[in-house]
Amino acid sequence: MNEANLETHQQVQEQIQRHLSISGSIALDTGLLLEFFTNGPLAELVTDEIFNNSNVKTIYIHDYIITELFSVICKQKGVSFAEETVEELMKFTKVVSTNKLRYIAGEFKAKRKLSMSDCFSLSIAKRYKIPVLFKRKQDLVVEMKKRPFEMYNKIDVISIDPEIIKAQKNSEDSSSEN
């Protein structure tokens, strides 16, 4: 295994260990849910480590995520499929009204260069003192490097990079062929 592959492998193992240790309640952002519902590169990981993880008791999302998911799925597969998908999602998640999060989200937005949806997801983590999982996004990475996500208490932000997961799968596939 060359040095670049070893580093990628180590990054994947660190990410996997972080979300294997997830238990109790978590918050999810739109990116990981889209991966799941559109069968993206992280779909299997999301299925195994979140939805099929018996240690995860409650999955929190905010109501703006419902709108985002509906919009993307509607474009891809039509209105009725999008409606069925979000209805199913609401059966196994706890949807928090953005009304309950607006001031926390507003404070994040005032202090960070992030989308409003990301600010609402972070607000759930802060309000309920739970980790929040994101699909890796450059603006989130930049903000995390500037300073940790904390205001009154630390927020555990787990950013999962599909390129690292894909590289890991390719590496495992190559190893099994030899």
Residue 1 has a pLDDT of 43
Residue 4 has a pLDDT of 46
For the record, the structure tokens of 13 come out as: 């193992």
Note whether residue 175 is domain-resident. Answer: no
Neighbouring residues of 147: CB distance < 8 A, sequence distance ≥ 6: none
Note whether residue 5 is domain-resident. Answer: no
Q: Is the pLDDT of residue 166 over 80?
A: no
Q: What is the pLDDT of residues 97-127, one digit of tens each?
A: 999 999 999 998 998 888 899 999 999 998 9
Note whether residue 100 is domain-resident. Answer: yes
Note whether residue 3 is domain-resident. Answer: no
Q: Which residues of 69-78 are buried (b: 16+ CB within 10 A; e: fewer)?
A: bbebbbeeee
The C-alpha atoms of residue 76 and residue 79 are separated, in whole angstroms, by 9
Q: Tell me the pTM.
A: 0.74
Give the domain CATH number at 112. 3.40.50.1010
Question: What range does the domain containing 162 cover?
Answer: 22-170
**What's the domain count of the chain?**
1
Note whether residue 40 is domain-resident. Answer: yes
Nearest alpha-carbon partner for 117 in 59, 160, 65, 60: 65
